Amino acid sequence: MSSPVTITDSQFEAEVVQSETPVLAYFWATWCGPCRLVSPSIDWAAAEYADRLKVVKLEVDANPDTVKEYKVEGVPALRFFKNGQLVESREGAITKPKLGELIDSVVS
């Protein structure tokens, strides 16, 4: 069973932009209530789509450079990357079924 990989600003380029596999970058904060609701769905996505999607977690307060570069204005936030390019952005809480639909649209 795969789980999300926690990364930092310094790892973002190598882990996300240079990844040959599509990547879901999950931006969150310890103080964020909706993040606590979404986190189990992120864990589910990492396990469910392990064969075709890499899932990384970035804590926003500790990683301001990446937050600024990808214009994360609220958490939880999702950024999908494919072939090194940002292809989809979402902010705010998302249900597990909606997350699944979104992932299917990106990885298919």
Q: With contact defined as beta carbons under 8 Å apart, do 26 and 58 qualify?
A: yes
Give me the catalytic one of 7, 24, 35, 99.
Answer: 35
pLDDT tens for each residue of 21-67: 999 999 999 999 999 999 999 999 999 999 999 999 999 999 999 99
Indicate the helix (H) or strand (E) that contains 9: helix 9-12
Give me the catalytic one of 24, 25, 32, 99.
Answer: 32
pLDDT tens for each residue of 69-106: 999 999 999 999 999 999 999 999 999 999 999 999 99
Say how far apart CA 25 and CA 7 lie, in whole Å: 10
0.75 exceeded by pTM: yes
Residues 67-86 as b or e (16 or more Cβ within 10 Å = b): beebebeebbbbbbbeeeeb
35 catalytically annotated: yes
What separation in angstroms does the CA of 97 have from each of 19, 33, 60? 25, 20, 25
Cα dihedral sign for 15, 71, 34, 108? negative
28 catalytically annotated: no
